[in-house]
A and B are shown apart, each in its own frame.
Chain A
Amino acid sequence: MMPNCREVTERASDFLDAGLPYGARLQMRLHLLMCGICREYVRQMTLVVRTLRRLPQNEPSAEVRMGLLAMFRAERP
């Protein structure tokens, strides 16, 4: 059975992790082929996930680094 739009949003996360079984994946693709709204929804969720992976990463302050290095020097494993 092809999923309806609500079911597409429920499976979107698994879909983009390639976590759906073969049949369900095919049905999902078929729905997306025909439904522009769900296509945009899945595109947005994919975009959110890819953007989270590229968030700018702040480096620790020099003070924090110096403190931890001092700990590394002092600590014998």
Chain B
Amino acid sequence: MRSERRDTDEAVIDRLLARDEAAFAELVTSYHTSLIRLALTFVADRGAAEEVVQETWLGVVKGLPSFERRSSLKTWIFRILVNRARTRGGHDARFVNFSMFGEIDNEPSAVADRFSAEGRWIQPPSTWQEQNPEELLLRREVAGWLLDAISTLPANQRAVISLRDIEGVDAPEVCNILGISETNQRVLLHRARTRVRAALEIDLK
């Protein structure tokens, strides 16, 4: 799987280096929406998000000849975006401050108050009828509900769940992109998933 993806990456990179416009257009189609979504993790302002994604694409074109291919192309592109957003965050108040990204506070779990002192359910989750993602997405509101739930998370949880679960980036690459430890990545993902499931439980009622 991974080596197949790397082979595809190699082919795309070679075409881009040969100034193949179709290859660049495909890249834009594949990643632009993901980049905007990730940018909106770091800055609420839509215009500023578009600016930073524009800068990212410029960084991709300029940086491609020196891309060392140690990560996947996708990870490399996401990392360029995060670095731009981090730089902006240093002097542009619209952007989140990255110094808090690796921090884990003592936030209680989103379901913490639903157990007895012995840790048994006193307020169990309601049963969902839907068996698979296709069934869930048949309800038109579900995609919007999930994205709304993610948008209310703290920025670091939002970044981790977007990369891991929406984009399908694996854990070591997410740590690499965001510059956080493996432990913090796990904790942030756990909290984010717990909150998103709890939010969807309310929405589905």
Binding site for B on A (CB under 8 A): 4-7, 9-10, 12-14, 17, 19, 37-38, 40-41, 43-45, 47-60, 64-65, 68-69, 71-73, 75, 77
A55 contacts B115, C-beta separation under 8 Å: no
Q: Which residues of B (77-101) have their CB < 8 Å from a CB of A?
A: none
Count chain B residues whose beta carbon lies closer than 8 angstroms to a beta carbon of A. 53
Interface string of B2-25 (1 = CB under 8 A from A): 000000000000000100010011
Which B residues touch A53, using CB under 8 A? Answer: 133, 165-166, 168
B124 contacts A55, C-beta separation under 8 Å: no
Known contacts A37-B124, A43-B128, A75-B58; 17 additional CB pairs below 8 A are A6-B112, A9-B194, A40-B127, A47-B128, A48-B200, A51-B133, A52-B146, A52-B165, A56-B143, A60-B32, A64-B32, A71-B58, A72-B24, A72-B61, A73-B21, A75-B62, A77-B65
- A52 and B136 CA atoms in complex are apart in Å by 11
- A55 and B166 CA atoms in complex are apart in Å by 7
Main secondary structure of the interface of A (DSSP, over half): helix
A13 contacts B21, C-beta separation under 8 Å: no
B62 contacts A58, C-beta separation under 8 Å: no
Q: Does B196 interact with chain A (Cβ within 8 Å)?
A: yes
- A75 and B61 CA atoms in complex are apart in Å by 7
Which A residues touch B54, using CB under 8 A? Answer: 68, 71
Give the contacting residue for B186; candidates A14, A43, A56; CB below 8 A: A14
A7 contacts B119, C-beta separation under 8 Å: yes
Which A residues touch B194, using CB under 8 A? Answer: 9, 12-13, 45
Which A residues touch B58, using CB under 8 A? Answer: 71, 75
- A32 and B119 CA atoms in complex are apart in Å by 15
Of A10, A14, A43, A72, the most chain B CB neighbours within 10 A belong to A72
A50 contacts B133, C-beta separation under 8 Å: yes
Q: Does B51 interact with chain A (Cβ within 8 Å)?
A: no
